[in-house]
Amino acid sequence: MEDKTGVLVYGELAGTKLAGTTCELLECGRRLAADLGQRLACVLVGEVSDTAAAEAAARGAATVYVASIPQECAFDGDVHVAAAAAAVATAEPGIVLLGHTPLGREIGPRLAFRLGAAVSTDCIDLRIDPDSGKLIMTKPVYGGNALLDSVAQTAPQLATVRAKAMPTGEPTAENTPNVVHLSFEMPTTRLTITDRVQEEVEGVKLEDAPIVVSGGRGVGGPEPFTTILQDLAAVLHGAVGASRPACDNGWAPEAMHIGLTGKIVAPDIYIAVAISGASQHMSGCAGSKTIIAINKDAEANIFREAAYGVVGRYEDVVPAFTARLRELLAD
């Protein structure tokens, strides 16, 4: 097992380009590979464009492994696990990185168990122990109430990485990618997808919005999400999000859920309205530059996370806040 070297990133595609999380993984992988004095590689699975392969190379991948699969298999975990296992068998890496994305959450653990190796999921920091040369993997546990550093006993060392936890990095000058086409046996289809329904999100996409206004259990019902909170978001050209209790109560659609099991956002400004600030929620927004809290409970945990706060009923605070902002921004 000692001869396994290098870092392999399991990349994901967004159309003809690399997904944002993959750019973060490549930047992290480039740093780890440099610390080890080893090489970075990337595997791309799907209908892989030349653009995507070139981008992976420009972001540091010395080798780009391409596993071409037909579009109808794009959502089949069995196919992705088989492709990832083929890439690992070919590259023989010491470290494998995947995004903690809807796909990576499934592929990471399945690949690990298939390889007989350990994986640490939802990592927010990865570094090389200078003494042992091993990968130290940091992940939040207990809903974000603590951090855990762990090290794998097995090789390769696998980690899935939380979105927006690490810098994206910049591509270097265009490189001609060293592309290796993987051949692997397509697994027999076990799952049949009979329907796929995705809501079209209007306005600014939550994950990309520079300003997010979020409502929690304390807003008390669905209506404020389309009135008071929406008005504030509109003035700031932001998007509206929600905490898990608000979604579980049906006040806001799941697509607006920010938190450990929902979306991860890292806007410039995050305005938490009637949100207590449970660790599980903070997991989804802790990367925000400035957090602003409005809550009637002065003891709420959110005030330990926020830079600015108002203690008061949101029904009173937010409309006045919105009105003054409108005046200020009109000047």
Partner 1 sequence: MAELRMVVCCKQTLDPEAPPASFKIDPSGNRMTLPSDIKPVIGQYDEFALEAALRLKDSGGGTITVLSLGNKLVRDVIKKSLAVGADELVLLEDPSFEDSDSWSTAYALSLAARKLEGFDVIFCGRQSSDMDSGQVGLGLAELLGLPVVTLARKVERIDGGLKIEQVIPDGYQVVEVPTPAVVTVTSELGNLRYAVLKGIMAAAKKQPIIWTPSDLGVDSTEVGAAGRKLDIQRMYQPVKEARCEIIDGESSAEAGANLATRLREAKVI
Residues 101-120 that bind partner 1 (CB under 8 A): 102, 105-106, 109-110, 112-114, 117-120
Near partner 1 in 24-53, by CB under 8 A:
none
Least separation in angstroms between CB 82 and partner 1: 12
Burial of 50 (0-12, 13-18, 19+ CB in 10 A): exposed
Cis peptide leading into residue 253 (ω within 30°): no
Least separation in angstroms between CB 173 and partner 1: 33
Site map for partner 1, 184-203, x if CB under 8 A? ------xxxxxxxxxx-x--
**How many residues interact with partner 1 (rule CB under 8 A)?**
83
User: Any contact of residue 122 with partner 1 (CB under 8 A)?
Assistant: yes
Least separation in angstroms between CB 245 and partner 1: 10
Least separation in angstroms between CB 319 and partner 1: 7
- CA separation for the pair 123, 131 (Å, rounded): 21
3 state DSSP class of 73: helix
Least separation in angstroms between CB 8 and partner 1: 19
Cβ nearer to partner 1, comparing 169 with 319: 319
Residues 6+ apart with CB under 8 A from 257: 241, 242, 243, 244, 247, 263
DSSP-derived letter for residue 156 is S
Cβ nearer to partner 1, comparing 50 with 149: 149
Q: E strand or H helix at 101, and its extent?
A: none
Least separation in angstroms between CB 116 and partner 1: 8
Transcribe 19-31 into DSSP letters.
Answer: -HHHHHHHHHHHH
Cβ nearer to partner 1, comparing 26 with 260: 260
Q: E strand or H helix at 43, and its extent?
A: strand 40-46
Near partner 1 in 242-281, by CB under 8 A:
244, 248, 254-255, 260-261, 269, 277-280
Near partner 1 in 136-175, by CB under 8 A:
136, 139-143, 145-154
Cβ nearer to partner 1, comparing 114 with 180: 114
Cβ nearer to partner 1, comparing 58 with 234: 234
Cβ atoms 314, 294 nearer than 8 A: yes
Cβ nearer to partner 1, comparing 63 with 279: 279
User: Any contact of residue 328 with partner 1 (CB under 8 A)?
Assistant: yes
User: Any contact of residue 226 with partner 1 (CB under 8 A)?
Assistant: no
Cβ nearer to partner 1, comparing 52 with 112: 112
Residues 6+ apart with CB under 8 A from 34: none
Cβ nearer to partner 1, comparing 38 with 279: 279
Binding range to partner 1, per CB under 8 A, among 19-27, 37-45, 48-56, 323-331? 323-331
The number of beta carbons lying within 10 Å of the beta carbon of residue 267 is 25
Q: 270-292 burial string, b = 16+ CB within 10 Å, else e?
A: bbbbbbbbbbbbbbbbbbbeebb
Burial of 166 (0-12, 13-18, 19+ CB in 10 A): buried
Cβ atoms 138, 129 nearer than 8 A: no
Site map for partner 1, 71-90, x if CB under 8 A? ----x-xx------------
Near partner 1 in 275-314, by CB under 8 A:
277-280, 290, 292-294, 301, 303-313
Q: Which of 280, 274, 268 is nearest to 239 (CA)?
A: 268
Least separation in angstroms between CB 49 and partner 1: 21
